[in-house]
Chain A
């Protein structure tokens, strides 16, 4: 028990609430469906509170070296839980439509959060594999909840591709285990350092199997060779699930990806170049695809892909400075992304609008809504009066610091991000069109509105008071 309270308390609390939701789904589904939301919120708030009781200095390791708790994992756990808090509120209409399955939905929802937290804190390939797989399955279970007829067909691709990349992970893992007979990150890296000293160069098989393992994580992040699932899956998903898919797996994926790269990257230099090229290609491909989309959901899918590309570019030039930039970017991305999704969800729930062109003339009906939506879109695009600019500047300056090899990648990424600015700009332009319209925004959906305005405020607030957050991120990155 002491082990749990020292290092594993938030996960434990979330587990309790998963079980509670599962039991509750048997008894009071249809009538007390609203209770499910509040119970889940309570669980998440308790878990956030519990993170402050964790022993983070020095780090605590639980379950025989499977999971680690230090300030770095706690940072990611808090991010994931904040995202979970917002997403629970965004699920309002989802559970209204599916009253009988509300508790069930939230138990899957919470297990996704639980395994995302486990993914971030794992320091062992086996626990990492289990957590990632469980996270992917939770996402898939939620994807199938959509009522639309073609939803299952569209989202099935996600399941299949997820299975394929999981086998890649297992293949890489078995190679590594075959050589070193170890599972934990630290021991494996030590083993390869020692063997590298004798032969004088990094082990080829290690690089190969690492690439296989990283592929799984790249899949979760929607980066280029594995991004084909993005638009279809998002189209088939309900809106809150889209918001979920674009925030929780991204946070979890980058949390673990930076740990893997930090442990293994110094020995395999060529991989930096590979990852940088993946990042740049993702940004270019994602933004070129995004500017042709008419559906807001598909645009947001590519927006997630592009933002992941920018973060990956910051990650692959590995240094403490760039890691703190990545943490800062993820923090800002969280608010901007959820804010944009909240705006999209609000629009869909009120008048079933899905396309960019439907937004025309909205400014004359709902000025506050349009301004808040514009602010979060500007933050996603990385323009000035919002946190997105500082985040982008931080990552790009980290890339500029890390040597001449990365400068062409940097320039390409910067130029490609302009294309994505145009992608977001299309939405803003449509909203400011001078057209008669009768779009209604439902005034009763207070929770979604609250999230939209809170996120818009947060992006501007972070921009103004960025210094504190930058210092926090530097501290976290230093203690990783």
Chain B
């Protein structure tokens, strides 16, 4: 398929952003928005085509393409080339991110009231950088795009938020730069040692051959740890989770949808691609640590979610719980757990962006996200209530909805895990199961407080969802139901990749 080029997929949004930013492009908000929506829709369909022509049985990368400049690769003399390719997991994440951008643009109309051109171009730049991180085959290209996500993110949060949002995102940006420096440090020493041993100057992930007989153990551990520090901010393991509720609380709601849908999956993807695939032996050593860490994440997130007064913060802690499950699933070191973890990351992105869509509709009408000020909205917004009900059930993990299968797989994986610390794994699985019940508690608490309890007088005149919002939320509900009934449709996309990874990893 010649017309399916990853280069176009990644860099089309940049072109769209430049077109929007151009001063000659109309300043009228309707035109800008319409262009952005049409483009995002087209881009989503284009990414679906990749999925349609993807051979999920294939072992290894497909759709490989190199970005060349006047026929020369980017930094050939340093062994760095801008090659892009996808495997099952990456492709799944790519399609997911184009989808999240697509629905975000539909929800942006109500909340973005100024600087439309800047907003839509920044969304496209962010999308482009995120797609690039999923597709990059080269460490340094990955790093560049990984850092580039921060700049549009900074503008998206700071320009459409108040001064607290600016402070929160500044903290996140600085913390990211610091952790990224550890990541960069790890890449540099890995790059050099690979050269010293194999005498090939390359930064290509596939040709970095981490043979533990060649690389000393302490070296692998130090590179592993520096990589892990680089990714941990986006996987949101506990002491590093702080930025997420802060930003989610203060940012504009469409930006919430974007962050919830795009940022955690990049972290999970990077963790799998680098820490699991490059250092399987070290990952085995660190698996119990990760397991406990994920467990702490689950319990801590669940406990904090209960005591929040702000629905946005509440949902963001629920997201942290979900990422704790992902970490536990990855640390199980068996196929069931791994498949469940990847599925959980994808399902989390869908469900939590859907929840933020619901919050977006509620916030647009009531102008508040404080949980005590809301109540009984179900009486005036029935459509919103029913879709929110399905989404909340989806987030809890009710059978036949999207979150059920991954949670089940993760807990089964933990039970079946062959890690040496048998007792620890079983305890983890049991605690995870208990927290599942708890999470049902706080998400239903959110649903009850917002939609079910006594209707306040001030909310009696608000209107139900518009056609556009209804269609977006209904399609999200459809997805949640569909993937709940038919989970294999997602799992089979990355089954060959997971078997490759787990062949090495399995204890």
**Does A466 lie within 8 Å of B144, measured CB to CB?**
no
**Does A415 lie within 8 Å of B159, measured CB to CB?**
no
**Does B140 lie within 8 Å of A393, measured CB to CB?**
yes
A25 within 8 A of B: no
B210 within 8 A of A: no
Given contacts A389-B144, A393-B140, A400-B191, contact A418 B184 (CB under 8 A): no
**Does A418 lie within 8 Å of B174, measured CB to CB?**
yes
**Does A414 lie within 8 Å of B192, measured CB to CB?**
no
Chain B interface size band reads: 20 to 34
**Of B23, B72, B195, which is within 8 A of A467 by CB?**
B72
- Contact pattern, A 82-120, Cβ under 8 Å of B = 1, otherwise 0: 000000000000000000000000000000000000000
> A465 — which chain B residues lie within 8 A by C-beta?
69-70, 72
Q: Is the interface of B mostly helix, strand, loop or mixed?
A: helix
A471 within 8 A of B: yes
**Does A414 lie within 8 Å of B184, measured CB to CB?**
yes
- Contact pattern, A 393-421, Cβ under 8 Å of B = 1, otherwise 0: 11011001100000100110011011001
B298 smallest CB distance to A (angstroms):
31
B507 within 8 A of A: no
Given contacts A465-B69, A467-B77, A470-B75, contact A397 B177 (CB under 8 A): no
> A79 — which chain B residues lie within 8 A by C-beta?
none
* Residues in A343-397 with C-beta less than 8 Å from chain B: 367, 383-385, 389-390, 393-394, 396-397
**Does B181 lie within 8 Å of A418, measured CB to CB?**
yes
Q: Is the interface of A mostly helix, strand, loop or mixed?
A: helix
**Of A400, A415, A425, A467, which is within 8 A of B75 by CB?**
A467
A367 smallest CB distance to B (angstroms):
7
Of all chain B residues, which has the CB nearest A378? B151
> B140 — which chain A residues lie within 8 A by C-beta?
393
A122–B189 Cα distance when bound, in Å, is 36
A370 smallest CB distance to B (angstroms):
12
B222 smallest CB distance to A (angstroms):
9
Of all chain A residues, which has the CB nearest B222? A407
**Does B144 lie within 8 Å of A384, measured CB to CB?**
yes
Given contacts A466-B74, A467-B74, contact A415 B181 (CB under 8 A): yes
Given contacts A400-B192, A401-B192, A467-B77, contact A434 B144 (CB under 8 A): no
A432–B181 Cα distance when bound, in Å, is 26
B147 within 8 A of A: yes
A156 within 8 A of B: no
**Of A385, A407, A418, A432, which is within 8 A of B159 by CB?**
A432
A400–B72 Cα distance when bound, in Å, is 26
A472 smallest CB distance to B (angstroms):
10
B293 within 8 A of A: no
Of all chain B residues, which has the CB nearest A368? B23
Of all chain A residues, which has the CB nearest B190? A400
* Residues in B109-142 with C-beta less than 8 Å from chain A: 140
**Of B155, B173, B188, which is within 8 A of A410 by CB?**
B188
Of all chain B residues, which has the CB nearest A324? B77
Given contacts A400-B191, A407-B189, A410-B185, contact A474 B178 (CB under 8 A): no
* Residues in A434-468 with C-beta less than 8 Å from chain B: 434, 464-468
B76 within 8 A of A: yes
A383–B184 Cα distance when bound, in Å, is 12
A422 within 8 A of B: yes
A423 smallest CB distance to B (angstroms):
11
> A464 — which chain B residues lie within 8 A by C-beta?
69, 74
A391 smallest CB distance to B (angstroms):
12
**Most chain B beta-carbon contacts within 10 A, residue among A422, A425, A467:** A467
**Does B78 lie within 8 Å of A394, measured CB to CB?**
yes
**How many chain A residues touch B (Cβ–Cβ < 8 Å)?**
33
**Does B159 lie within 8 Å of A434, measured CB to CB?**
yes
Given contacts A393-B140, A470-B75, contact A383 B147 (CB under 8 A): yes
**Does B69 lie within 8 Å of A367, measured CB to CB?**
no
Given contacts A397-B191, A470-B75, contact A422 B23 (CB under 8 A): no
> B70 — which chain A residues lie within 8 A by C-beta?
465
> A367 — which chain B residues lie within 8 A by C-beta?
23
Of all chain A residues, which has the CB nearest B117? A367
> B76 — which chain A residues lie within 8 A by C-beta?
467
B148 within 8 A of A: yes
A415–B56 Cα distance when bound, in Å, is 41
> A466 — which chain B residues lie within 8 A by C-beta?
74-75
**Does B188 lie within 8 Å of A396, measured CB to CB?**
yes
Given contacts A383-B147, A470-B75, contact A396 B184 (CB under 8 A): yes
**Does B188 lie within 8 Å of A418, measured CB to CB?**
no
**Does A422 lie within 8 Å of B181, measured CB to CB?**
no
**Of B73, B77, B158, B185, which is within 8 A of A471 by CB?**
B77
> A434 — which chain B residues lie within 8 A by C-beta?
159
- Contact pattern, B 147-176, Cβ under 8 Å of A = 1, otherwise 0: 110010001001100000000001001100
A375–B453 Cα distance when bound, in Å, is 53
Q: 9 closest Cβ contacts across the A-B interface? A: A400-B188, A414-B181, A384-B144, A418-B177, A401-B192, A400-B192, A470-B77, A400-B189, A384-B148
Given contacts A414-B181, A415-B178, A467-B69, 9 further A-B contacts (CB under 8 A): A384-B145, A389-B144, A411-B182, A414-B184, A421-B177, A429-B158, A465-B69, A467-B72, A470-B78
Residues of A that sit less than 8 Å from B by CB: 367, 383-385, 389-390, 393-394, 396-397, 400-401, 407, 410-411, 414-415, 417-418, 421-422, 425, 429, 432, 434, 464-468, 470-471, 474
